[in-house]
Structure 1
Amino acid sequence: MSLRNILALLATLLIIAAARLYFVETFAIPLPYWDQWDAEGDFLLRPWIEGRLEPHNLWQPHNEHRIFPTRLLSLVVFNFTGIWDNLVEARVNILVAACIPLVILLFLMRQKAMYGPRWLVLVVIIAQFSLPFAYENLLVGFQSQFYFLIIFTVFAIILAVVYPGSLFAMAGVLVLSWLSVLTMASGILTPLAAAGVYALQGIQRRRVDRRHMVLAVLLAGLSVVGYSIMPQIEANQIYRSRSIPEMWRAMQYILAWPFSKSWAAAAALWIPALGMVPWLLRVRRLTPADMFMAGCVMWSLVQAIAIAYGRGQEMNGVSSRYTELFTPGLIGNAWFAARFIQINIMTRRIAWLGMVFFFLLMMGHVIRLSNDMRAVYRSYELSLKQESNVRKYLKTGDASVLVQPRFEIPYPDSVRLRGLLDNPTLRNILPPHLSR
């Protein structure tokens, strides 16, 4: 790589790490939160300490998910520190999350694809990984599954793009796809995105590769198997869209993000890829970098459809924790907007249209930043109340201390929380300051 590429890579990673570190150090607390008490504390760390943890426990269901890599990371962090500390896990997640822009940029730079207007994609990468819109994932260490899912997906797409004829690469795509299935429920969409990349290659070459057809069938089979083993949570049925119009309305919120609700914004943010990919395929100018970005866009689009179906009933906004699933797609659209500018650079009457994407995306982030920060401060205030109530209980043993309004204790059930806090194994590994 050239010196310019190295400096750009280091600067990008430094900005991202510094921004995320600021939010974690300022607004995250050591006290475990919500699902951590069951899935991580009682069902993972306690059996591990007591010598009861079985290998199959690592991929047992957690709600609709499997969170296999998150459980492994939790065990690694705990065995290094000896403490069950959310703040430590959130710090580790900074490194996990930074792997995503690192891999994307290394791939682009090794492809010698970063030049001219294409450098504009750095603006989007920095914004998507530095701003606090996904504060739930940023401040809670147990949310690392979102980052693992994107990492596995990015690697699967890269293998499909760079080594399309390699059987080892195809095996790697299958493994990464299965890891995605064991990471989150929406991991079943990773094999479909990978199959989509192989389909794009067939269209580009105007011929069908039989090995790719077989692999596509296997990848589709992985998705089917993943769906069949997905736990069906009765309580979550109330969130599903009840009709096509309701799902369509939810798509309006999702595709318009970071704006709240606007088909005009949705069109402007996603049309770069939807317009450029078919045109580049028609003229056979879809490069490996383009193919990778097209795979990222496909993956985020199917994630958007899945969210619109699974969480679309009476949707009036996109949950913070889901927003990072749109990041690969928005980076991909930024890439194709830059490609549009590059191709039409000599025709200024047209080239400026590519800048509309960047202007709108940045404007969307600026508009929502104050609301995001209010949500961060509100979350932090509730976290301090949770910590205060838990400390009072550990000091006094008074059960009434835990009878508080929702979100003022770190678990939805005060009776269950009291039982967890009274468990000697869990109490001994809580952050020491809680008992002072």
Structure 2
Amino acid sequence: MFTYLKFLYQPFYLKLLAVALVIFSARLWLIHNFGSSIPFWDQWDMQASGLFLPWLDGTLKWDDLFAAHNEHRVFVTRLLSLSLLILNEIQWNPLLEMIVNALLSTTIAIILIAVLKNKLEPTIQNWLLLSIILLWSLPYGWESILGGSHHFPYYLMILFSVISAWGLLLHDNFSWKWWLGAICALAAYFNLASGFFMSVVIIILKLYLIAIDKGNRRSHLPTLLIGALITMIAVMLLVKVPGHAVLKAHSVTDFLLTFGKSLAWPWVTYPWLSLILYLPFLALVLRIVWLRRYPSPAEIFVLALGGWVTLQAASMGYARGAGGSSPTSRYMDILAFGVVVNLFAFYFITQPWYNLTCWIKPAFHVFACFWQVLVVIGLGGLTVVGSWPAIQQKQFQGMEQLKNTREFIRTGQISALQKPFLHIPYPDPNRLAYLLANPKLRRILPHTLTVPSLLQSEQQNSSFIADGFYPTTGKYQNEITLGSYNSLGDHAIGRFESTSLQYQHSFLEIPVAGYLGEKDLTLQLVVEGQANPIIVTPPRLAKESWISCYVRTPNRPFKLVAIDNNPNSWFAFAMPRSLGWLSFISIQILEQARTLLILSLFLLGMIFCLPISITQLSRD
């Protein structure tokens, strides 16, 4: 026990914890403030029609999980999406998927730090940690951060690629870590078509090692063969999408422009800067080859990452290089690895064993300072100028998409979906209407798309009337609600008791307005066979606005009872809607994102700025 505590309280692992919290909470903050709970574009095809409906119908086959989606075979993504649906009590929740993406991204950062930490000197650990925080916390990859399951493939591909390089290149043949690397190398392809690029890089590295390591050539063959096998499988299963030919580079110039812009990240509009930003990595590769040096484990890992990023940039230049376009936000989490690679290339190439001459080494240090300033300025510009306006636009579009989709569900009128481009969550209104009309899909939609029917009262006359709220309050999402503000105004008193109710999920959301929480104003669930009712309490007085209350769903039939015995006040409530338990947890986590971010930054500052002295916890 004490040994474990000693390990946990080592300064490096406290820093690692702080780094993980900062990255995760920064992404949660962005999701909370700008994310939308409505499924978007590819999710309607990849998940709704291609996965969830066949599973609900009992017609889903294993072949369907491996089927192509555009150019990709998203097997692992489909498994993860279906698992989240099942775990969330058969309720679809894009915000939950965004949180999972944030976890995946944070995991990638921690694995990257852990691998490099064990291979590098302690003197550069802080440099590594701060670089990862900067690269992983800024929202330049907003499209993936604010995307749901259709961005699982990017994070999963990156995660599996990093683990495959670690397992296959840094561990003995046929050890469990080596086998884990082999499995991840294959899994990387079954997320994105470019996922086999790490296997290609592993082949190249092993061929180089076979050429220079004459005494141990046979030891490199198993990894070489695994890389070749996975590459061959991937090439055989590649999918061509005729409709995407228009997106490809139409000339060598187009390819080189997009390739250069990708490697010039974060300066993605200046392809010529790629020559400066990738100069350290190029110099490292050429120096190792020239010296016929056997790279250290850390160098091998960084070389693998550098080759992988370069191939990813080349694929962007080929497959999405029409007109020499710049890489979009969804690719930038991949391209950010180039900064890490080149940072460590600076470190490696200045080590004594590379025998840099006395005049080159100082010049290289000056160039390193210039390079880092260039990257930081580029990151600032990419975030503030390139990403922030798009994030704000995404927020507005998400609100419009939610409103218009809910309106179609409420009215059934196709005109609700015949809106400007990106004001609905799918490019074809008729196709979207067809999917939303499916009753099985309706039952699993996010709770924010639920338009519940008006509750029926067991009383013939109730003082709670339709839309009984103070006039300035306004409707809740254009729904009919019940409230105690009627022709008598605040002076109205009375009671509403619903017929018996049952819901399928673990939690209920009940939006309320007015002054529920004050004396003699009560909203409660009266459960069959239970002596005491469940009191619904808002987090604060809603006044002339709407806020949501959450309560655990009773496991037996219940009635919703509203009581207004206060002649000087009123309250109103919207009809309950049910949430899966993971949806409820997601809401709670996102609401605490700002607090978590502030605390994690404070913890990070304390650990880095104050000396940490850990006393001996026990004596051996």
TM above 0.5, one fold? yes
Letter in 1 for 2:372: F
Letter in 1 for 2:348: R
- Pick aligned residue for 1:97 from 105, 121, 138: 105
Tell me, in whole angstroms, the C-alpha distance in 2 between the residues paired with 1:220 and 1:125. 32
The reply to whether residue 427 of structure 1 matches residue 436 of structure 2 is no
- Pick aligned residue for 1:141 from 148, 154, 161: 148
Relative distance call for 1:144 and 1:345 in structure 2 (3 A) is: farther
Relative distance call for 1:291 and 1:60 in structure 2 (3 A) is: same
Relative distance call for 1:283 and 1:219 in structure 2 (3 A) is: closer
Matching residue of 2:506 = none
The reply to whether residue 252 of structure 1 matches residue 263 of structure 2 is no
Relative distance call for 1:390 and 1:114 in structure 2 (3 A) is: farther
Matching residue of 1:188 = 196
1:6 Cα deviation after fit = 0.7
- Pick aligned residue for 1:356 from 357, 360, 370: 370
1:253 Cα deviation after fit = 1.3
Relative distance call for 1:312 and 1:263 in structure 2 (3 A) is: closer
Letter in 2 for 1:329: G
Tell me, in whole angstroms, the C-alpha distance in 1 between the residues paired with 2:187 and 2:260. 30
The reply to whether residue 387 of structure 1 matches residue 422 of structure 2 is no
CA contact (8 A) 1:133 1:323 kept: yes
Q: CA RMSD in A?
A: 2.3
CA contact (8 A) 2:161 2:184 kept: yes
Q: SS at the partner of 2:347? A: helix
CA contact (8 A) 2:249 2:322 kept: yes
Tell me, in whole angstroms, the C-alpha distance in 1 between the residues paired with 2:17 and 2:209. 32
Note the 1:265-280 alignment, pairs <5 A: 265-280=273-288
Note the 1:216-365 alignment, pairs <5 A: 216-280=224-288, 282=291, 284=293, 286-340=295-349, 348-365=362-379
1:403 Cα deviation after fit = 0.8
Matching residue of 1:163 = 171
> Which deviates further from its counterpart, 268-277 or 137-146?
268-277
TM-score (normalised: structure 1): 0.93
CA contact (8 A) 1:133 1:320 kept: yes
Relative distance call for 1:277 and 1:3 in structure 2 (3 A) is: farther
> Which deviates further from its counterpart, 271-280 or 312-321?
271-280
1:272 Cα deviation after fit = 1.3
Any idea what the Cα deviations from partners look like across 1:290-310, whole Å, max 9, x if unmatched?
111110000000111111011
1:266 Cα deviation after fit = 1.0
1:136 Cα deviation after fit = 1.4
Relative distance call for 1:148 and 1:221 in structure 2 (3 A) is: same
- Pick aligned residue for 1:71 from 63, 70, 78: 78
Q: SS at the partner of 2:322? A: coil
The reply to whether residue 407 of structure 1 matches residue 422 of structure 2 is yes
CA contact (8 A) 1:124 1:334 kept: no
- Pick aligned residue for 2:51 from 44, 59, 62: 44
Relative distance call for 1:310 and 1:157 in structure 2 (3 A) is: same
CA contact (8 A) 1:117 1:342 kept: no
> Which deviates further from its counterpart, 235-244 or 409-418?
235-244
Letter in 1 for 2:286: P
Relative distance call for 1:263 and 1:311 in structure 2 (3 A) is: closer
Tell me, in whole angstroms, the C-alpha distance in 2 between the residues paired with 1:318 and 1:431. 31
Give the strand-richer structure, 1 or 2: 2
Matching residue of 2:217 = 209
Matching residue of 1:110 = 118
> Which deviates further from its counterpart, 194-203 or 164-173?
164-173
Letter in 1 for 2:88: T
Relative distance call for 1:207 and 1:312 in structure 2 (3 A) is: farther
> Which deviates further from its counterpart, 291-300 or 319-328?
319-328
Matching residue of 1:418 = 433
Tell me, in whole angstroms, the C-alpha distance in 2 between the residues paired with 1:201 and 1:16. 36
Letter in 1 for 2:237: I
> Which deviates further from its counterpart, 259-268 or 399-408?
259-268
Letter in 2 for 1:412: P
CA contact (8 A) 1:293 1:332 kept: yes
1:326 Cα deviation after fit = 1.4
The reply to whether residue 12 of structure 1 matches residue 27 of structure 2 is no
CA contact (8 A) 2:140 2:383 kept: yes
1:20 Cα deviation after fit = 0.6
Any idea what the Cα deviations from partners look like across 1:309-352, whole Å, max 9, x if unmatched?
11112033211111122133321112122334665899645423
1:108 Cα deviation after fit = 2.1
Q: SS at the partner of 2:324? A: coil
> Which deviates further from its counterpart, 417-426 or 75-84?
75-84
Relative distance call for 1:350 and 1:140 in structure 2 (3 A) is: closer
Letter in 2 for 1:34: W
The reply to whether residue 366 of structure 1 matches residue 380 of structure 2 is yes
CA contact (8 A) 1:31 1:431 kept: yes
Letter in 2 for 1:219: G
Q: SS at the partner of 1:10? A: helix
Letter in 1 for 2:295: L
Give the helix-richer structure, 1 or 2: 1
Tell me, in whole angstroms, the C-alpha distance in 2 between the residues paired with 1:130 and 1:199. 37
Letter in 2 for 1:382: Q
1:422 Cα deviation after fit = 0.6
1:405 Cα deviation after fit = 1.7
For structure 2, the residue ranges without an aligned partner over 5 or more in a row are 1-6, 452-620
For structure 1, the residue ranges without an aligned partner over 5 or more in a row are none
TM-score (normalised: structure 2): 0.66
CA contact (8 A) 2:260 2:272 kept: no
Tell me, in whole angstroms, the C-alpha distance in 2 between the residues paired with 1:332 and 1:199. 21
